[in-house]
A and B are shown apart, each in its own frame.
Chain A
């Protein structure tokens, strides 16, 4: 029992990060109808920026404090991601207004390659470390109430906490501010939103900025755990099955979908792994998404069949 709960909690914590990345994905889809294949590349790019800036800043400024270096690196990387969002709107989206979904999808594939290329030429293509002081030692909790206690990975716990916090803050932003309201309006009906004077271009920049911020946070967390390398993009791309599961247009769907995939991966790895071989974690999400595509293509919470892809 203790082991099962441990696995479950591990899955939920991992899933929270998928939820976060999926949220960036859903926002872009809702606001602009773009199926953003570049989400993974954005995570990689952001993580690369963070890793390199945090190494360069002490050299440039001659400061020694890791906290300060990380702080400055975070601000620089954030600014860079905003610049990327702005450029994407300027150079790509603006010229593809009213194109069909497939064209936009191809455009984001292009963006992904450009980001990966530019990322490795500016920042290099080795494996880099991000050290933001995440706790590495696991802790034992509830030793009295559960036999054997529960071993919790503190790094995953902190990561999940940060992800949950960011999701909540974004939610507040969308519900409580004028810009958030405009964003929800655009997501509901582009035509009407424009007719009452909401500039679509600005909203697009904002959702790509949010996706960039989300990518940065996820990039830092995954980067500090796994190291910053090319495979980060693939980890982040697991947001795709998450949104297929949750529904492309549903924000709660993205969050719940992320948790389901996180838990599913861990449980299947632990309980099915011994029978059908390990490595389930890698393909589980895609398999589940495939089942959904066959039987419920609009996902758990989606509004309509995906007709744009």
Chain B
């Protein structure tokens, strides 16, 4: 062993070893990225099914009226379907629009106001839509029977 190499061996590595920076803001953006992809796949099935049943079957859009909705929501399957579609589409859409606001609204105030409006719209629509599904009354008293589904009089 020569004097020289011993000296070299003592020299510290010039750079500090790689250490992952501890993230201080959490993994929110990562989760949102994953969520956009996972919810997209589920939404594809839910929305295509929704559009097919409401626009393609029978008379399509002309078949829709109060009785049509009552008939669908009499089945727990469609209640769950619509509930999932409501929540997933609203979270996916709100998250997507949030990204777009972040991209284009450069002034802090503008961005804050737009996001405030966005979250307000989200809350109102999700709460209202959920209440509508669960408090729906297929046979409201006092309504003309011809507007109601046939099972109301049966």
Our verdict on whether A and B bind, yes or no, reads: no
Residues of A within 8 A of B (CB): none
Residues of B within 8 A of A (CB): none
